[in-house]
C-alpha cells in the first residue's frame, strides 16, 4: 500500500533528472520514435512492482511526465482511497483537499496540482504527474486553464 501525493511518487518526481529516474526502474524499455526519449519499466514500492512510464521533454530534456499505469488494492492519493469510488466521488474528494478538477470520459485532470488520473470503468486506475515544460497541446491547454479551447461537450469542471 502506497500513499501517493500531488508532488509525485515517493522517491522521485517530475523535478528530478530524467537519467536519475530512469536508473530507478527495473526491466526498462526505451522508445525514441517521437523525437524524445520515453522509458517504461517497473518501480518497486511498498512491496509491489508498479509499471511506470517517464517521458522526456524534447527541448529541455527534463521530465515531461511520470505515470504509474497500474495501482494496487489499498493505494491512496493524499489519503483518498484509489480504486474504491467512482470518478465523480473521487473528484469531490479532490475538491476537499485542493482545487477543482476537470473531468472527461477517461480522465480526471487536477490542473492546478498538475496531476491526472486515468479512469477504467469510471474508477481511477492510473496516475500521471506533469512537468512544467509540456509539449502536448491538449495537456498544455488543460494546465493553462484554457478549457474553452477544448470540446465543451467532453470536458467539464466538477460541480459538487
- Domain with 73, as residue range(s), is 3-149
Q: Does residue 33 sit within a domain? A: yes
Q: Does residue 154 sit within a domain? A: no
Nearest Cα neighbor of 9 from 76, 73, 102 is 76
Q: Does residue 159 sit within a domain? A: no
Q: Residues with Cβ < 8 Å from 62, sequence gap 6 or more?
A: 14, 17, 18, 56, 131, 133
Q: Does residue 97 sit within a domain? A: yes
Per the structure, the count of domains in the chain is: 1
More confident residue, 134 or 59: 59
Sign of CA dihedral 104, 91, 10, 73: negative
Rounded mean pLDDT of the chain? 84
Report percent pLDDT > 70 for the chain: 86
More confident residue, 146 or 70: 70
Predicted pLDDT of residue 89: 94
Residue 137 has pLDDT above 80, yes or no: no
Q: Does residue 130 sit within a domain? A: yes
pTM: 0.84
Predicted pLDDT of residue 34: 59
Q: Does residue 160 sit within a domain? A: no
Q: What is the pLDDT of residues 41-76, one digit of tens each?
A: 999 999 999 999 998 888 888 888 899 998 999 999
Predicted pLDDT of residue 154: 52
CA–CA separation, 31 and 50 (whole Å):
19
Q: Does residue 158 sit within a domain? A: no
Q: Does residue 155 sit within a domain? A: no
Q: How confident is the model at residue 134 (pLDDT cuts 50, 70, 90)?
A: confident
What the block records as the C-alpha cell of 14 is 517530475
Quote the DSSP letter at residue 93: H
Q: How confident is the model at residue 30 (pLDDT cuts 50, 70, 90)?
A: confident
Q: How confident is the model at residue 81 (pLDDT cuts 50, 70, 90)?
A: very high
Amino acid at each position: 500500500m502506497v500513499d501517493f501525493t500531488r508532488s509525485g511518487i515517493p522517491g522521485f518526481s517530475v523535478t528530478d533528472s530524467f537519467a536519475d529516474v530512469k536508473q530507478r526502474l527495473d526491466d526498462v524499455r526505451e522508445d525514441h520514435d517521437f523525437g524524445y526519449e520515453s522509458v517504461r519499466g517497473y518501480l518497486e514500492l511498498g512491496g509491489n512492482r508498479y509499471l511506470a512510464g517517464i517521458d522526456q521533454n524534447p527541448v529541455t530534456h527534463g521530465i515531461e511526465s511520470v505515470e504509474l499505469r497500474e495501482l494496487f488494492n489499498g493505494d491512496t492519493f493524499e489519503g483518498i482511497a484509489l480504486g474504491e469510488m467512482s470518478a465523480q466521488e473521487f473528484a469531490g474528494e479532490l475538491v476537499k483537499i485542493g482545487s477543482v478538477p476537470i473531468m472527461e470520459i477517461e480522465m480526471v485532470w487536477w490542473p492546478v496540482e498538475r496531476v491526472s488520473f486515468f479512469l477504467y470503468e469510471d474508477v481511477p486506475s492510473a496516475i500521471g504527474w506533469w512537468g512544467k515544460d509540456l509539449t502536448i497541446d491538449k495537456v498544455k491547454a488543460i494546465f493553462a486553464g484554457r478549457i474553452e479551447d477544448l470540446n465543451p461537450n467532453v470536458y467539464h469542471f466538477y460541480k459538487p
